[in-house]
């Protein structure tokens, strides 16, 4: 009987983790299977200086890596807290300050109904620094994979710095590009991917 309960518990946790993952991934009105070529064709890039387009394309690869990394951290945090704390983890273990800021961002976004939302999970509305604080405040749930919260916080700070440059149409130097890649690789080696 105990073996059946353990199996049931394992399967149930898997179902909860899958549901949390589904809610954590940013939603979009766009079809994720829409070919990149269709998206590219809709942009009037031929009307913009070729050198500027080429420079932006180089940075696009870095944006893709950082955006995917950031969303993978959101999924990781959500799944880990769901597993270790339970379904009410957002209300029970995330600080009032972070919840309030996330809810404010979501509410502000809802005022612009003509534009798509970031996602459906509350974690879609937190910044990397907030994710580091959530990990720190619940370190017992993460300690097995993240022995040093300061290590995680420094990775997030470094990536956020590069992210901000790219998001404001700046260009990273190759040393910065290498640092982004190294930070993401280090995280994936430590935490998994």
SS3 110: helix
pTM of the predicted model, to two decimals?
A: 0.76
Q: Looking at residue 98, what is its pLDDT?
A: 97
If the chain, 193 residues long, is cut into consecutive pieces of 10 residues, what is the mean pLDDT of each piece? 49 50 48 77 90 91 94 96 96 97 93 87 94 97 96 96 94 96 97 82
pLDDT digits (tens, 9 = 90+) for 2-23: 554 444 444 445 555 555 545 5
φ, ψ of residue 45 to 5 degrees: the values are: -65, -25
Structural domain boundaries, residue 9: 2-191
pLDDT at residue 38, rounded to an integer: 86
Q: Rounded to a whole number, what is the distance in angstroms from the first to the last CA of the chain?
A: 35
Count the domains in the chain.
1
Sign of CA dihedral 21, 24, 25, 28: positive
pLDDT, position 25: 47
CA atoms of 79 and 75, how far apart (whole Å): 6
Q: Give alpha helix (H) positions in 85-169.
A: 89-93, 96-110, 128-137, 139-142, 149-167
């Amino acid at each position: 009987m105990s073996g059946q309960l353990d199996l049931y518990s394992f399967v149930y946790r898997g179902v909860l983790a899958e549901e949390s993952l589904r809610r954590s991934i940013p939603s979009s009105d766009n079809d994720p299977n829409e070919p990149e070529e269709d998206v590219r064709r809709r942009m009037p890039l031929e009307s913009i200086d070729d050198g500027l387009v080429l420079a932006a394309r180089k940075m696009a690869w870095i944006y893709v890596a950082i955006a995917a990394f950031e969303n993978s951290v959101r999924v990781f945090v959500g799944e880990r807290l769901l597993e270790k704390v339970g379904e009410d983890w957002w209300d029970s273990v995330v600080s009032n300050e972070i919840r309030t800021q996330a809810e404010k961002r979501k509410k502000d976004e809802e005022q612009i109904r003509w534009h798509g939302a970031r996602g459906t999970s509350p974690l879609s509305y937190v910044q990397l620094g907030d994710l580091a604080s959530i990990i720190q405040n619940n370190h017992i749930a993460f300690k097995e994979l993240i022995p040093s919260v300061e290590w995680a916080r420094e990775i997030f700070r470094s990536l956020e710095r590069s992210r901000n440059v790219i998001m404001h149409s700046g260009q990273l130097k190759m040393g910065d590009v290498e640092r982004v890649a190294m930070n993401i690789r280090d995280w994936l080696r430590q935490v998994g991917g």
